[in-house]
Amino acid sequence: MEELTRKQIKGSGIAVRGNEIDTDRIIPARFLKCVAFDGLGESVFYDERYDAAGAQKPHPFNDSRFAGATFLVVNKNFGCGSSREHAPQAIMRWGIRAIVGESFAEIFAGNCQMLGVPAVCLGAVEIKDLMQAIEKDPQLEIELDMEARAVRYGDREVVFELDEGVRTSLVEGKWDSTALLMANEGAVREKAQSIPYLNAFQNA
């Protein structure tokens, strides 16, 4: 299942400054009515990016210099507030593949893991330096090495913090439980046949 692993991620970054950025700011509640998550990327940080008339406001996600960014860099307790999974879905569907921050709300980080989006932590000084580097050079290449527990850019290498169980699931491609079941359909069917009441149900 190599296609599901998250051993190494490379790309440019985008920095969104501020502590306690909650899920309602990431994706306002009125966008939660969608049946599928497909179009959520267009609405990420919507009220931060647009005024009541729909005109753009200054925001990194409106800045063409950061278009196509792979990494989102944030400050403390990012993703706090409600537990809506739409928040990491919107970020991912905008194009973000990994989030680097000072700290994350626990449920938000868990929702990121279920999407295969690493949410790793660096110290406040390291985040400040990375944000400044991105804003100075939007094309700066950043590398997240999950096996080495390192974030690299320019001549810098910083060790990140991430729960070992989460890191292992991403490295080994075991974060997507649905995909794991589908990939092991034969084993699932075999096990089901060995369970009397399931076997009887299948043959009914």
Q: How many CB atoms lie within 10 A of CB 152?
A: 15
Domain count across the chain = 2
DSSP conformational letter for 63:
-
Assess whether 80 and 96 both reside in one domain.
Answer: yes
Assess whether 183 and 93 both reside in one domain.
Answer: no
Concatenate the DSSP letters of all residues of 5-28 into one string: --SEEEE-EEE---S--BHHHHS-
Q: What is the pLDDT of residue 4?
A: 54
Assess whether 25 and 77 both reside in one domain.
Answer: yes
Assess whether 147 and 190 both reside in one domain.
Answer: no
Assess whether 119 and 202 both reside in one domain.
Answer: no
Give the structural domain span for 192. Answer: 176-204
pLDDT digit string (tens) for the chain, length 204 residues: 334 568 899 999 999 999 999 999 999 988 877 666 778 889 999 999 999 999 999 999 999 999 999 999 999 999 999 888 899 999 999 999 999 999 999 999 999 998 999 999 999 999 999 999 999 999 999 999 999 999 999 999 999 999 998 898 888 887 666 555 555 566 666 666 777 766 655 554
Q: What is the pLDDT of residue 2?
A: 37
Q: How far apart are CA 201 and CA 21, in angstroms?
A: 49
Assess whether 120 and 153 both reside in one domain.
Answer: yes
Assess whether 86 and 141 both reside in one domain.
Answer: yes
Q: What is the pLDDT of residue 30?
A: 82
Q: What is the pLDDT of residue 162?
A: 93
In the block, tokens 């985040």 appear at 127
Q: What is the pLDDT of residue 194?
A: 75
Assess whether 134 and 96 both reside in one domain.
Answer: yes
Assess whether 204 and 127 both reside in one domain.
Answer: no
Assess whether 162 and 62 both reside in one domain.
Answer: yes
Q: How many CB atoms lie within 10 A of CB 62?
A: 14
Tokens in use for 188? 């699932």
Q: What is the pLDDT of residue 1?
A: 33
Q: Is 179 helix (H, G, I), strand (E, B) or coil?
A: helix
Cite the DSSP H helix spans in 53-137: 86-94, 106-115, 124-136
Backbone phi, psi, residue 35, to 5°: -80, -40
- For residue 157, what is the domain's CATH number? 3.20.19.10
Tokens in use for 73? 């860099």
Assess whether 184 and 165 both reside in one domain.
Answer: no
Question: Who's near 62: CB < 8 A, 6+ residues apart?
Answer: 49, 56
Assess whether 72 and 20 both reside in one domain.
Answer: yes
